[in-house]
Amino acid sequence: MATVDSEPLRFLIAGTITAWDPKTCLLRVDGHELWVAPDISAAHVAKGAKGTAAGQEDRTGRRVVTRLTVN
């Protein structure tokens, strides 16, 4: 029996950035743990800033940010 791959789970999270680690690319937005893709600019990321992160879950279940806006 063949298995069917489903579409990756997409997410959109808006809120306050509560943590940012540029070495591991780990971002927390209102308690949600996210990893920023290496090709995404994170120059304006700062704790306490408002932001919107969008992306999808990878095969391991990590949420990977593919679009990031910081206000």
Other CB atoms within 10 Å distance of the CB of residue 29: 23
CATH of residue 46: 2.40.50
Domain of 40 in residue numbering reads as 10-70
Q: Bigger pLDDT: 33 or 8?
A: 33
3-state secondary structure of 25: coil
Residue 28: CB partners within 8 Å, gap ≥ 6?
A: 17, 18, 19, 20, 34
Residue 37 lies in a domain: yes
Average pLDDT rounded to a whole number, residues 13-21: 97
What percentage of the chain's residues is helix, strand, coil (to nearest 5)?
A: 0, 50, 50
Q: What is the pLDDT of residue 24?
A: 94
**Segment 27-56, tens digit of pLDDT:** 999 999 999 999 999 888 999 999 999 999
Residue 26 lies in a domain: yes
Residue 28 lies in a domain: yes
Instruction: Give the number of domains in the chain.
Output: 1
Comparing C-alpha atoms, which of 58, 55, 56 is closest to residue 67? 55
